[in-house]
Amino acid sequence: MSKQEKTRKIRELDQKLSRLREQRHKPDTEARKWAGKRDKVNEQIKNLRAEILELKNKRDGLNENVKELKKLREQTRTEIHEKLEEMKKLDQEIRALNKKKPSRSPQMLKKESESIEWKIQTTPLSLEEEKELVERVKKLEIQLNVHRKIEQFDQKTFELRTELKALETKRKLCHEKLTETAQKSQEFHEKMLEEIQKAKELRMKADELHENFVQARESARLIQKEIMGVLSQIKMLQGEVQKEEERKKRKSEKAIWKNLEKQAREKMKRGEKLTWEEFQILAERGMVAQD
């Protein structure tokens, strides 16, 4: 290939290089665009993950409260059952006592008992009479004890009813609080699932953007590879042109020196005065002596 052809080839390669550099600008720009969009989506995913974690912690905290409320509700139910069983037993005992309940009131029985005791203390009695009166007091005391037990059981029943009412209120409030807490937990759970779905969709979008980024970078890489190939060709051709120019230059210089040498020899033969340059040429050839 001649120098002219090589020079023309270099110009063509320079034009191709300009076109390739212009082409590379587009995928580079696209790569930056896709990377920017991808990073923005990744930031959204990061924020969503933080929100999801917060929702999960809130849900889990409420679930722990639900567990505690269920335990409390179950404990209250157990206490209510125990109180009901206790009332049932009391009711049975009261029924049994009511069968033994004297027809007279406690006041009448007590009055009679006090009257007999006063008579025993103040009236001279025979041993048999006193024994009979003591027995009557004992029987009256037994009847009074029936009234006392019935009164005690009634009081206990009243206390149990009061406790049962308080326990029922406690159970109801516990159930309401449990239902409200469970509902809030479910709301947080559903919200968390929505955010998880959003994060999944954003992750798919981020993956798609990253794939676009990779493709753009690959296009840029292939163009850059072609650019490097063209640069290599230009460098090689420029080197060949430069070597050829240097070779021509050396050949031209050699011809000039040879011509000068010829002129110097002819002048020396004619006995003409030599220029310093001519003298140096002949001296280098050993044709004149240097002082």
Measured CA to CA in angstroms, residue 132 lies from 79, 107, 111, 117, 141 at distances of 50, 22, 18, 12, 14
Could you tell me the residue range of the domain that residue 155 belongs to? 24-225
290: in domain:
no
197: in domain:
yes
38: in domain:
yes
Which two three-digit tokens encode residue 279? 């003298």
CB 146 within 8 A of CB 101: yes
How many Å is the maximal CA-CA distance in the chain? 202
248 class by beta-carbon count within 10 Å (0-12 exposed, 13-18 middle, 19+ buried): exposed
216: in domain:
yes
90: in domain:
yes
CB 93 within 8 A of CB 153: yes
For the chain, the domain total comes to 1
CA quadruple 40, 42, 44, 50: dihedral, nearest 10? -150
Please name which of 167, 159, 158 lies closest in space to residue 75, comparing C-alpha atoms. 167
Return per-residue pLDDT of the chain as tens, 291 residues: 677 787 888 888 889 888 888 888 888 899 999 999 999 999 999 999 999 999 999 999 999 999 999 999 999 999 999 999 999 998 888 888 888 888 888 889 888 888 888 888 888 878 888 888 888 889 888 888 888 888 888 899 999 999 999 999 999 999 999 999 999 999 999 999 999 999 999 999 999 999 999 999 999 999 999 999 999 998 998 888 888 888 888 888 778 777 777 777 777 777 777 676 766 766 766 665 555
Rg of the chain (C-alpha set): 61
**C-alpha to C-alpha distance for 6 and 242, rounded to whole angstroms:** 11
**C-alpha to C-alpha distance for 28 and 224, rounded to whole angstroms:** 11
CATH number, domain with residue 66 = 1.10.287
Please name which of 12, 32, 28 lies closest in space to residue 209, comparing C-alpha atoms. 32
245: in domain:
no
232: in domain:
no
72: in domain:
yes
